[in-house]
Structure 1
Amino acid sequence: MKLIGVLAYLLICFSTTTEAQKLRGLDKSPMDMAYYPDDFAHDRKFAPAKVGDKVFARVTYSRPAKNGREVFGKLTPYGKVWRVGANEATEVKFFTDATVQGKKIKAGVYSLYAIPTETEWTLIFNSDLDQWGAYSYKENLDVLRVTTPVKKSDELVENLTIQFKKAGDNVKESIMIIAWDNTLVEVPVAF
């Protein structure tokens, strides 16, 4: 009788393992997060803290790859609203009130869109959350728009990357960097 119980248990374990092998693979554009301060996720001294206690901002986004394609002007058309990434619209969470390029924005979560051109991007912080792409973007829900010049990156960036870096000596002053292919924009964000 015990042998039948052991065999039944092994059969259940084997069938569960088989099911796990049917899971889909990795996304083509994996999700990532960027924090400010940038070292939050890599510095163990922050580990016991709640994110909002030590972090001013967090960006959640998917990282599409260049894959030999022409990105800006082709894959991401100029002059059209873009979700700044792939899959779901990128979301920015400010844990405290902030200023983006000198314009005030309240603490909260915002979808981040951009209208790229060859020379500048208009970055859009929008209150409509949980959107897939920019397909249902609603301009009337824009909270803030800023324009920033386009720069050429020193090296080719294969996967879209968003990072923060400290701007000067004050920890409350940062630069949000968005880079992909050979294009880079930098936006001052202060808290």
Structure 2
Amino acid sequence: MHMTAKNLIDPFSLDSTLEVASLELRFVNHQPYYWVNREKLFNAQTGAEKGEITEEEARKIAKTYIKGDYEIESTEYLTETGSHHEYRGRPLPAWAIHFNHPEKLTAYIDIEETTIPKGKYAFFTIPRQEEWTLILNKNWEQHLADDYYQADDVIRIEVTAEKEMPLTERLTYTIEDKGEGSGAIRMSWEKLSISLPFKTD
């Protein structure tokens, strides 16, 4: 679950006036960007500074979260969150993409995509009435949650559970191909389904 890029420029040649305190390589719609000081994006191949993720980009990314051909009903640009938002305690600004779905599904898109090295991971879920926490943990050999330590989490994200789905009689995990290197790990049981989106190179 990782992406690679070629022909990257030297990040320290981006802006002679920029004092680099932190530097990360991020991907937006499969394009590599340097995320400098956790506040500025630069194209890692051209050096051009990029603004925040656009609404169009956020809508495209959100489509990888939701199974089915549900239409996007509306978008919302968040600089702060209220009690009605499921997106709390996470990086801002962000986009909230609302789908025309019986369960009023919403995907939240921010700049901080996580790169996951190739390997084996334990997969945990924390179910709640509407929102579930999905966790990938480095200790893949642990027995249930007896040896679980949060410090070993690779990612921990919040997703909205999809309800009233076609009946799945057994707990089932599937890998969905969304095209263009995108996909989702989907867990289904009875009439409930959750998915963890990902991108590959």
* TM-score for both structures, normalised by structure 1: 0.43
The structure in which a higher percent of residues are helix is 1
**Relative contact order higher in (CA < 8 Å, ≥ 6 apart):** 1
Q: Under a length normalisation based on structure 2, what TM-score does the superposition of the two structures give?
A: 0.41
